[in-house]
Chain A
Amino acid sequence: MTRLATGGRIDRTRPLRFSFDGRDYTGFAGDTLASALLANGVHLVGRSFKYHRPRGILSAGVEEPNALVEIDRGVGRREPNARATMVPLVEGLVARSQNRWPSLRFDLAALAGLGSAVLGAGFYYKTFLGPGRDAWHKRWEPLIRRMAGLGRAPEAADPDRYGNRYAHAEVLVVGAGPAGIAAALEAAAAGGRVILCDEQAEFGGSLLAEPRAWPQLAADMAALSANPAVTLLPRTTAFSYGLQNFVALAQVLEQPNDLRERLWQVRAQRVVLATGALERPIPFSGNDRPGVMLADAARHYAQRWGVLPGRNVAAVVAHDTGYAATFALQDAGAVIAAVLEMREAAPAALLAEAARRGVRVLANHGVVGTRGGLRISGLLAAPRGADGAPDAARATPIACDLLLMAGGWTPSVHLFSQARGMLRWDAALDAFLPGEAREAVTCVGACAGEGLAPGLPVTQMAAGSARAPKAFIDQQNDVTTRDIALAVREGFRSIEHVKRYTTNGMATDQGKTSNMLGLALVAGELGRSVPEVGLTTFRAPYTPTSFGAFAGRHRGLQFDPVRAAPLHDWAVQQGAVFEPVGQWQRARYFPHAGEEMRAAVDRECLAVRESVGIFDASTLGKIEVVGPDAALFLERCYVNAWQKLGIGRCRYGLLLREDGFIYDDGVVGRLAADRFHVTTTTGGAARVLHMLEDYRQTEFPELHVWLTSTTEHWGVIALQGPRARDVLAPLVAGLDWADFPHMAVAECRVAGIAARLFRVSFSGELGFEVNVPASQAPAVWQALMQAGAAHGITPYGTEAMHVLRAEKGFIIVGQETDGTVTPDDAGLTWLVGKAKPDFIGKRSLTRPEMLRADRRQLVGLRPHDGRNLPDEGAQLIATATSREAEGHVTSAYRSASLGHPIALGLLAGGRARLGDTVFATSLNGAPMALEVVAPCFLDPKGDRLRG
């Protein structure tokens, strides 16, 4: 065991059992998975992405590139690529290593590592171009995906819930280290709401490795948590910083099998970033061997978790902080084999302290290489030569079981940069620091460079490493110093290009430990400075964020609102088959027991033609247009003439866009001089209201007219068929039937309910649409069903509705039209008010292109064979072998009433081609011959309407 007898913030009275790769271990409450593994002497935790090299735990925090494990909480709860350093230990935790076969200790694919000399940067681009077309997609990519790639995505649906919370705060503090806690205390004292979040399970940041600071930390946190205006969010990562201080936080909750995560969307008046700094690794051969660790991480393991990650410790140091870490491990009981000081000399005070402690410091030394298999057993130390590389000829071996790397510090400016803040290069600190801000944001602590001292500049630290073999800079993507040098030699100059070519910094850690080294190496190869090379872009998310957090509760039935019309429940009881129309669920047909769709639709259609059908039309959009200028407003918007429409009369209205193409249609009824009941298509309800409201407010503000959506207020029941009046009349009160012709509207009572009754038809039969308040619609429907029983009243769905209207040649906007169809194309010129001075789209209709005789026009199409249907969307061609499309099929149905299939289509110059034969292309056969006919197949004179 490497667990210390005392010390740390773990609770030794609360042991927790967990398993890793099937072996059982014990840790303590307060551990992370990484600290618990180290306490059990487990350093080997994973295999690398490309070369399958054995990898250990590099860090103690969010930047971890190696210790990526699979956490398995059961079916659907398997989480790949979890950073062991960020997983709090819980009882029964099941973790597995990834990317190894057959086992972690013996991985066959590690043989790839033997060939690593040929697997360098750009390897994929260069190698897998042949043989043959599609070689990459069909052959190489699947193979490489099996070999490389990290964790396995879970296959089962995620049973956990994910919440969302919008929050507002006067101050949001990101990061609860000393600077963040101080900022939160200050903000709380000033009053107002404060949110303090930290990605770790425990607040304190660097203080957690400073036992002397713990009493004050406890007092500060107690003060914050006692303040009701302060919200404390542990295990919460601020991962995205958007415009106007809109910051997204991903919170991982305690209950593992309940509410799993919560996405916080915070709008803060001021944001304080206290995101700290990350320690830089040092590039040398074999720096990825298990047991090579960031120096400050080792200090945290010793002081925060009471774990000694090695007993015989060496350190390679480019920064003063490496000494504090080394001394802390010595204090915890480790033997210090040597400190390799990469600088010419360490500060005198540190050297004196090292001497006092009996720690051997080798000045101006570097690491030639490391020894060991699955864990480091020693290193070769050598004086650095003129080019910065250690001189292998003068190397001496040093035995160790832990090698610390103290490469200096990189302030975490990710979020500041996401917020479009400018970064500035601080030459003294050798780091990019926050510069000019674009948001109300303050950076404090190490992320602003506060409290950081300069060390060996990163370019000097990396100098000479480009020629060292297997010196890794991006351990997650297996990018070496040689890969960077190769990319530069091959002509890549932009750091963005070098990044993409080598994949440096493109793994899930987004280069937290590798980007600065990559910059330093490119700078060295090009002979430029780091700021001249520039910086890659920081993008959200700061750390990987689960899909669940983004999806929140918008899944399953709540993925999108499912809108049900007032008669939905009745249709469900009848066994209706539904189809989605926008967000609505509409009954498509009502099959009898054992009845196929085709038979049901035929039966429903025939019932309407022969007797009476009943249909739920409630989803139709409805807009009440009211005001003394209502008629004038409609006159200016729709193509039709409205001023002379009598009260109690209806008209089929057509609405264009400014470009002259059909936008929507629907019946409009005039209820009073100043009141119109406008209907729209089901799908067009919202956009038509928005368009009309836009014109009302911006084009015609002088008109006294207002628009109100009444779509949801009215339930609409359509009765269609020769027996419709017989069913309806006995239930109607207060209507003068003598003055109620086709296209009339009246307010009356139906089945005792105040109603707006329309005499309209979308089927070509005598028809009525009964509008009653939505809550009353089921009762009125029932009354009509009872009254219609004697006539065999038949409920019908949207499919029959489509067939019935197609038999009449009535268009459906969005089916016969596609945004390029004019009124004339659709055969609706008769609607356009010629004498009107203007309407939306009028000017466009006079453009020469709109007047061409060969425009595609609506026609009917009748299959020659009298049996088969053309495909909707099929191209229309003049001869069976023609390759030139002259239009397309827009609708095609079997017509039980006519006894043959029918279709509608748009055909170039179609109205002049009646009687011609055209062909519809087919995806699975010869083109189908069709006769061009008039679009109206049934009762062209409209006698049935007046029945």
Chain B
Amino acid sequence: MVEIREMPPFACTLLQASAAVAATLGPAVPAPLTATEEMLWLGPEEWLLLGEPGVPQGPASLVDVSDRYRGLALHGPGAATLLNEGCPLDLADAAFPPGSCTRTVFGKAEVILWRPSAAEWRLLVARSFSPYLLALLHEAQADLTPG
């Protein structure tokens, strides 16, 4: 009832700048705790750009971190329940609607949790933590009661 899929590698760039400078890059800057297909809000003055970054007009930090993360995609109606095995956030629609994005933890691993749509959840985790995260998720998945 929950499908866990490892995402193919993806290019990404960490952007840190004032919101005004970030806006000069092109894509609409997502509001706090949200993400778009181009840009994930990670924190104050901090975003993860997917794809090729533009040129900022003003002081900014752009750092290629494409190999820092591994991505997991979770599909299925039990995904939020599965995530709550290790993530303490309220993931109900009202609290974490589609489009939400935040940094949080799963067990002892720090993760970026992004919900691109109602049915899909993505976890970005630092590369060396991904075996740990996958093992925990797969064990918990097996114990998820159907329904």
Q: Are A713 and B140 in contact (CB under 8 A)?
A: no
Q: Are B90 and A627 in contact (CB under 8 A)?
A: no
- Mark out the residues of chain B between 51 and 95 whose CB falls within 8 Å of any chain A CB in the assembled complex: 59-69, 81, 84-90, 92, 95
B127: which of A168, A265, A562, A774 is its contact (CB, 8 Å)?
A: A774
- Mark out the residues of chain A between 578 and 620 whose CB falls within 8 Å of any chain B CB in the assembled complex: 584
Complex-state Cα separation, A278 to B86, whole angstroms: 36
Q: Which of A161, A166, A705 has the most CB of B within 10 A?
A: A166
CB of B126 closer than 8 Å to a CB of A: yes
Task: Give the residues in chain A near B66, CB-CB below 8 Å.
Answer: 713, 773
- Mark out the residues of chain A between 623 and 647 whose CB falls within 8 Å of any chain B CB in the assembled complex: 624, 626-628
Binary interface encoding of chain A residues 141-175 relative to chain B, with 1 for a CB under 8 A from any of its CBs, else 0: 00000000000000000000101111110000000
CB of B131 closer than 8 Å to a CB of A: yes
Binary interface encoding of chain A residues 768-781 relative to chain B, with 1 for a CB under 8 A from any of its CBs, else 0: 00000111100000
- The smallest C-beta distance from B145 to any residue of chain A, in angstroms, reads 9
Q: Are A714 and B63 in contact (CB under 8 A)?
A: no
Given known A-B contacts A165-B85, A706-B61, A775 and B67 have beta carbons under 8 A apart: yes
Task: Give the residues in chain B near A562, CB-CB below 8 Å.
Answer: 131-132
CB of B14 closer than 8 Å to a CB of A: yes
Q: Are B85 and A554 in contact (CB under 8 A)?
A: no
Given known A-B contacts A161-B139, A708-B16, A708-B65, A561 and B85 have beta carbons under 8 A apart: no
Q: Are A713 and B64 in contact (CB under 8 A)?
A: yes
Q: Are A563 and B129 in contact (CB under 8 A)?
A: yes
B85: which of A164, A566, A705, A712 is its contact (CB, 8 Å)?
A: A164
Q: Are B92 and A626 in contact (CB under 8 A)?
A: no
Q: Are B139 and A561 in contact (CB under 8 A)?
A: no
Question: Closest residue of chain B to A585, judged by CB?
Answer: B128
- Mark out the residues of chain A between 753 and 779 whose CB falls within 8 Å of any chain B CB in the assembled complex: 773-776
Q: Are B65 and A710 in contact (CB under 8 A)?
A: yes
B128: which of A163, A193, A258, A584 is its contact (CB, 8 Å)?
A: A584
A706: which of B16, B84, B88, B131 is its contact (CB, 8 Å)?
A: B16
Q: Are B68 and A168 in contact (CB under 8 A)?
A: no
Q: Are A563 and B128 in contact (CB under 8 A)?
A: yes
B84: which of A167, A553, A566, A709 is its contact (CB, 8 Å)?
A: A167
- The smallest C-beta distance from A550 to any residue of chain B, in angstroms, reads 14
CB of A698 closer than 8 Å to a CB of B: no
Complex-state Cα separation, A624 to B13, whole angstroms: 12
Q: Are B67 and A554 in contact (CB under 8 A)?
A: no
Given known A-B contacts A168-B92, A712-B68, A774-B127, A163 and B85 have beta carbons under 8 A apart: yes
Complex-state Cα separation, A152 to B40, whole angstroms: 54
- Mark out the residues of chain B between 1 and 45 whose CB falls within 8 Å of any chain A CB in the assembled complex: 9, 14, 16-17, 45
CB of B50 closer than 8 Å to a CB of A: no
Complex-state Cα separation, A775 to B69, whole angstroms: 11
Q: Are A627 and B139 in contact (CB under 8 A)?
A: no
Task: Give the residues in chain B near A774, CB-CB below 8 Å.
Answer: 67-68, 127
Task: Give the residues in chain B near A709, CB-CB below 8 Å.
Answer: 68
Q: Which of B81, B132, B135 has the most CB of A within 10 A?
A: B132
CB of A704 closer than 8 Å to a CB of B: yes
Q: Are A168 and B95 in contact (CB under 8 A)?
A: yes
Task: Give the residues in chain B near A628, CB-CB below 8 Å.
Answer: 59
Binary interface encoding of chain A residues 398-411 relative to chain B, with 1 for a CB under 8 A from any of its CBs, else 0: 00000000000000
Binary interface encoding of chain A residues 651-683 relative to chain B, with 1 for a CB under 8 A from any of its CBs, else 0: 000000000000000000000000000000000
Task: Give the residues in chain A near B62, CB-CB below 8 Å.
Answer: 626
Complex-state Cα separation, A554 to B84, whole angstroms: 15
Binary interface encoding of chain A residues 703-721 relative to chain B, with 1 for a CB under 8 A from any of its CBs, else 0: 0111011111111000000
Task: Give the residues in chain B near A712, CB-CB below 8 Å.
Answer: 67-69, 126-128
Task: Give the residues in chain A near B108, CB-CB below 8 Å.
Answer: 554, 560-561
Complex-state Cα separation, A626 to B65, whole angstroms: 14
A193: which of B65, B92, B140 is its contact (CB, 8 Å)?
A: B92
Footprint of A on B, CB under 8 Å? 9, 14, 16-17, 45, 59-69, 81, 84-90, 92, 95, 107-109, 126-129, 131-132, 135-136, 139-140, 143
Q: Name 20 A/B residue pairs within 8 A (Cβ), A-sorted.
A: A161-B143, A166-B87, A267-B88, A553-B107, A553-B140, A561-B132, A562-B131, A624-B61, A626-B62, A626-B63, A628-B59, A706-B17, A706-B45, A708-B14, A708-B61, A710-B68, A714-B67, A773-B67, A774-B67, A775-B67
- Contacts A163-B140, A166-B84, A626-B63 known; list 8 others, CB within 8 Å: A164-B86, A193-B92, A259-B143, A561-B108, A563-B129, A704-B59, A710-B68, A773-B67
Footprint of B on A, CB under 8 Å? 161, 163-168, 193, 258-259, 265, 267, 553-554, 557-558, 560-566, 584, 624, 626-628, 704-706, 708-715, 773-776
